[in-house]
Amino acid sequence: MSVYDYSIKNIEREDVKLDKFKGKVLLIFNSATKCGYTPQYKGIQELYEKYRNLGLEVIDLPCNQFLNQAPGSDEEIAGFCQANYHTTFETYSKIKVNGDDAIELFKYLKRTKPVDETPGYEINQQPAGDDLKSSNIKWNFTKFIIDRNGNVFGRYAPKVKPEELASVIEKLL
């Protein structure tokens, strides 16, 4: 299995098969427009501008599961990102990342990389405390990097800034 076996919905609620991104490095993240990490959109856009011509694609999946920090329609969220952070990557339809209603892509991502890692290290960090109990996404802006073959390379906590992922992305490109 790889991410290419899954699909997501665009803001028109049409299925988008991830196999359309074969051969690209993917940055997949769950986002929110009213979160302390929302300014990370700026850094993610900068990564996209710097590396898209080399094969980076960004997949922004808004999620309202954390204190309702992604209110509004899919169109309103996409408009917010474009107006406030000048995003040129696509914002997809709102999803759930945890629980029975989580989309299949995130269930797969969590199974494959159950704990957050530190950029620059190729081995999983050992989970501690509550992390031992669950691979659940802990908050908005959890980031996954997928290699050119559709394999999950890394999972990074919301506190990891987009610019800290540049070396990881460069390595995979």
Q: Which domains does the chain have, with CATH numbers?
A: 3-126+133-172 (3.40.30.10)
Catalytic residue, candidates 35, 44, 105, 165? 35
Helix axes 74-85, 40-51, angle to 10 degrees: 80
DSSP state of 9: E
Q: Which residues pair with 62 in a beta bridge?
A: 31
Residues in the chain: 173
Reported as type and span, the H/E element at residue 31 is strand 25-31
pLDDT in tens, the chain (173 residues): 899 999 999 999 999 999 999 999 999 999 999 999 999 999 999 999 999 999 999 999 999 999 999 999 999 999 999 999 999 999 999 999 999 999 999 999 999 999 888 776 554 444 444 444 579 999 999 999 999 999 999 999 999 999 999 999 999 99
pTM comes to 0.92
DSSP state of 117: B
Residue 81 a catalytic site member: no
Token pair for residue 150?
Answer: 């559709």
With a CB cutoff of 8 Å and minimum separation 6, the contacts of 36 are: none
